[in-house]
Amino acid sequence: MDKIKFVTETGETVEFYVEEQTRVGGRDYLLVTDSLEDEASAYILRDMSSDGDQEAEYVMVEDDEELEAISRLFAQMMDDVEIEM
């Protein structure tokens, strides 16, 4: 399973496990978890980088409507996973 490093607003580096990815409306989204355990916390990240950028720039999705829509999509993609908000 792929891991990515995410730098928080406070400068702390956190590692996440990439569970799934998708592209909607020209933007890439990642479903990530903070551990490999069954009860891991999940987050949805949106890629804000431009085509041609050397590194991806991800932000956590915080808009409720966007979060709900993308989480439904990930739930459909992953039959054996239950996403609770």
Pairing of strands 13-24, 42-47: unpaired
Q: What is the dihedral of CA 3, 29, 9, 11, to 10 degrees?
A: 20
Tokens of 42: 């999940």
pLDDT for position 64: 94
What are φ and ψ of residue 7, in 5° steps?
-100, 120
Dist. CA 24–CA 27, nearest whole Å: 5
Average pLDDT in the chain: 89
CB 61 within 8 A of CB 70: yes
Interval 10-32: pLDDT, tens: 999 999 999 999 999 999 999 99
Q: What is the pTM of this model?
A: 0.85
